Amino acid sequence: MGTIFEKIINRDIPAEILFEDEICIVIRDIEPQAPVHCLVIPKKKIERISLSKDSDQSTLGHLLLIARKTAFDEKLDSGFRIIINNGHEGGESVPHLHVHLMGGRQMKWPPG
């Protein structure tokens, strides 16, 4: 079957793609929680950050660098938030690691 993210990567369902390379894809979230809400998704399926391996180090670093690039492209000069949810209590809704990039408004603390 595959997750919704695998279906987007395979172009089985449409998404607004902002960036793509051989390692990841960046899309706009379809249920944005901020004026800018993008998802940085690795093409290699890693179910969640707690299940990542040491061999995933370069992929995980790449995701953060692409989130930074996307923040620049989206003109989030006043600040932004990067979030990785893990597990049910962490707010994970899709079992495929992804990085949320959110900005365009004042973020509150604590989140959630």
Q: Residue 77: which CATH number?
A: 3.30.428.10
Output DSSP code: residue 18: E
What per-residue confidence (pLDDT) applies to 111? 82
| pTM (two decimals) | 0.95
Helices (H), the chain: 4-9, 57-73
Domain that holds residue 47: 4-103
The percentage of residues in the chain with a pLDDT greater than 70, rounded to a whole number, is: 99
What per-residue confidence (pLDDT) applies to 10? 96
Number of domains the chain is built from: 1
Judge residue 65's burial from the number of C-beta atoms within 10 Å of its C-beta, 0-12 exposed, 13-18 middle, 19 or more buried. Answer: exposed
Q: Is pLDDT above 80 for 112?
A: no
Known catalytic membership, residue 98: yes
Residue of 62, 88, 96, 98 marked active site: 98
Distance CA 4, CA 20 (A): 17
* Segment 54-89, tens digit of pLDDT: 999 999 999 999 999 999 999 999 999 999 999 999
The answer to whether residue 109 sits within a structural domain is no
